[in-house]
Structure 1
Amino acid sequence: FISYSRKDVDFAEKLEKALENYKPPKGLYVPHRNLDVFRDVTDMTGVEYFHAIEEHLSNSAKLILICSPNARHSKSVNDEIRRFVKLHGAENIIPILLAGIPNNETYPGQSAQKAFPEALCEVMKMPLATSYRNFNPKKDKIDKGKFEVAWHNVLANLYNLGRDVVEQREKKRQQRLRKRRTALLIIVPNLALILIFISIGIYEGVKSGRMLNVEAYHNAELAEEFTQREYQAFSDFS
C-alpha cells in the first residue's frame, strides 16, 4: 500500500510502476512473482473512502509511506498510517523521504520543512527513512543511477532481508545479463555471416543449375538434329 499526498503524485506513480515491474532475482528465496501494489488514485471522502481503503489496508503486508511536508499535512495520509498500524503494526511501515527534513533534525523556524506525518511520529520516535530527496521525475529513475542504493533499501524492507543480500543478488543478475548481451553480440554477427554465405551458396547453386539446364537443353537439340539426320540418311538409303 503506497500512502502519499496527491501533491507528490509524480513520484508515487513512478514508484508504483517500478515495484510492479520488479521481479526478484534467483537466490533471494522470496516468491518469484511481481508485487501486488495498491495506490489510491481517487478523491473519495467520508464513509465511501473509509470502507474502500480499509479493505486495501487489511490486504497489504507493508505500507510504503512517502514522506514530505505535503504528506505531513495530509489528513488521508495520517489516517492511513493510524489504521495500518492497528492492522499490521508500525514495524511494517517503510518511510521514504521525498522532500523536507526529518522532524528531529529541524531547527527553530523550520517547522514548515518537517517531512514526517504526526501519525508516524506517534508510533516511531525516530523514523529511519530511505532518502529520495532531490528526485527529478523527468530525469531520474527509481531503481537506477544515484538512487539505486535507495531502491535496494526499499526492496530489502519489503522482503525483510538485509540490503547487502539484495545488492549481491542484483549484482549477480546484472552480471548474467551482461554475459548474455556479450554472447548475443558475438552470436548475432556470426549468424548474419552464416546467412549471407548460405544465401550466396543458394544463389550460386541456382545460377549453376540454370547454366546446367541451358547446356543440357543445347545438347538435347544437337542430339535431336543428329537423330533427324541419321533418320533421313537411313530413309534415303532404304
Structure 2
Amino acid sequence: MSDRSRIEWTEATWNPVTGCDRVSAGCDNCYALALAKRLKAMGTEKYQQDGDPRTSGPGFAVTIHPGSLDQPRRWRTPRTVFVNSMSDLFHAKVPTSFVRDVFDVMADTPQHTYQVLTKRPLRAARIADQLRWPPNVWLGVSIEHMDVARRADHLRQIPAIVRFLSCEPLLGPLDELDLTEMDWVIAGGESGVNYRPVDIRWVRGIRDACVIAGVPFFFKQWGGRSPKSLGRHLDGETWDQMPSQ
C-alpha cells in the first residue's frame, strides 16, 4: 500500500498496527473493516489474520507490525502523517511497549507531523505518563454523537500539544459539545453503500460553535455512496482550517 493519502486533512498514512474492533455506532460501517477484507483477498501480508466476527472481520485482527516502525525514518521530505488509519493505536490488544515504540519513532522524526486518532482515549490517558509527547504529535478522538462526548474529557487529561476532535461519521447533533482545550475540529458525513445521511443543521451547529470558540474547523465531506459524491461545500464555502501549531 502507498503511504500517500487521499484523506483531505492529511498527506500520508503509517500503519504499524492494523485491525480493530467496533466500540460504538460510528464503527458500524467502518471503511477500514471493509478495506481489510479486500486486502486479505488480494493476499496483502498485513491483512491475513481474522478478527472476532462479532466485532471485527476478515483480515482485521489487531496485529502489530514491528517491521513498519522505521517507515517514517525513510521518508526524505517532511509530511503530515495519519497514524494507524487501519487501526487504533490505543486498542487494548496493542502492548504498551509497542505504543511506546511508535511514540519513540514520532519523537525521533520531528520533521514530520503525526495525527493520532482514537476511540479509546481512556487507555491513552492511563498510559500517557509512560510515553514521550513531542510537539509534532497531535492526538484526536472520534465523537460521532453526544453519547460518546465523554471521550473529549479523557483527551483533556493527555499532554498532547494539539488536541482535536473528529466528528465523523456525524450521526447526530453535538450542540452540547465542550470545545474547551480543543485545537481543531473535523466534521464529515458517512460514505459507503449503507451510509447514514448527515443533517446540515448538525454540521452548522459544530461550525458555529467553533467560530464562537475560535477553534479551527475542517469540513471533510457530506458523504454518500462514495466519499466525494456529495461534495464538501458548507453554505457555499470550503472549510479547510487547520491548527496554527
Q: Could you say which TM-score interval applies, normalised by the shorter chain?
A: 0.3 to 0.5
State the structure with more CA Rg: 1
Q: Which has the higher contact order (CA 8 A, sep 6+)?
A: 1
TM-score for both structures, normalised by structure 2: 0.33
